[in-house]
Structure 1
């Protein structure tokens, strides 16, 4: 099939080749059309561009049928293939279970458990507003003397006696407590799980 370009079409194709913003798949299509215009056969074009000759024929024919617009068409690609029920399984596992020996799921542990990529887990968690690594904690003592004791402790900080040494002991960061004093509330969309 012979392919002849109008001068303005040839100029536009060459401009697309030079433009930095032209997608590489469109650049290859432009090269196919320009080489075909110069009289090269599909086999020669394929060899020069490192493509399959059928690909060269496809884009030559598409240009003849559809013109310049046909070169910009987005073709069906590999892309993400949705798996039925995958998101539901991941969300269900995230809110209803925990990995053995850990307090919460990470994207990597969930990905390994579900047999998918970590980025897939991350995307699903974002879509459903889940953040298993975030926990809200607060524990109110049931001790009837809690308020007087609290005032004594705060008083030492606010108005320490002369020559007093005030020490504060806080929980150790980066260490996860595996046993809790009571069950926490489960995680929901837009709300962190809780534990004490």
Structure 2
């Protein structure tokens, strides 16, 4: 269990977070993130936030930390992740290009 986590924000940030929660045209993931921060600022513990927001403990910790580091803007963007499939190497690319530019093998026509 983490101790000593205290989220404080300015009235401007609270207004922005409240607007995000109340906006019906915004993605739900942003609403959940804003609710986590608002509940944290209201002094609720991790387990209470988990119950209210319906998220895991690690999600609560993640968004508390992101807000403390980057503010409201950090909640409104996703971190970039590396591609799941690594790109082909130059040797493979050169081989494929050479095969497509040459004549077909054997008696194939397509």
Instruction: Determine if the TM-score, normalized by the shorter chain, exceeds 0.5.
Output: yes
Counterpart-to-counterpart distance in 1, 2:49 and 2:62: 12
Aligned twin of 2:26: 22
Counterpart-to-counterpart distance in 2, 1:66 and 1:82: 30
Report the alpha carbon displacement of residue 18 of structure 1 after superposing the two structures with TM: 1.7
Counterpart-to-counterpart distance in 1, 2:80 and 2:85: 15
Residue-by-residue CA offset, 1:3-62 (whole Å, 9 max, x unaligned): 112111111111111223321111110000000011001121012222111210111111
Normalized per residue, the structure richer in helix is 2
Please state if 1:67 is matched with 2:74: no
Q: Partner of 2:55: helix, strand, or coil?
A: coil
Bigger Cα Rg:
1
Please state if 1:37 is matched with 2:41: yes
1:159-174 matched pairs, under 5 angstroms: none
Counterpart-to-counterpart distance in 2, 1:73 and 1:33: 15
Aligned CA RMSD, in angstroms, stands at 2.6
Q: Partner of 1:57: helix, strand, or coil?
A: helix
- Structure 2: unaligned runs, 5 residues or longer: 89-95
Counterpart-to-counterpart distance in 1, 2:80 and 2:48: 26
- Structure 1: unaligned runs, 5 residues or longer: 97-184, 187-196
Pairing partner for 1:55 from 56, 59, 83: 59
Aligned twin of 2:91: none
Counterpart-to-counterpart distance in 2, 1:21 and 1:31: 16
RCO higher in structure (CA 8 A, sep ≥6) = 2
Q: 1:75 to 1:38 in 2, by over 3 A?
A: same
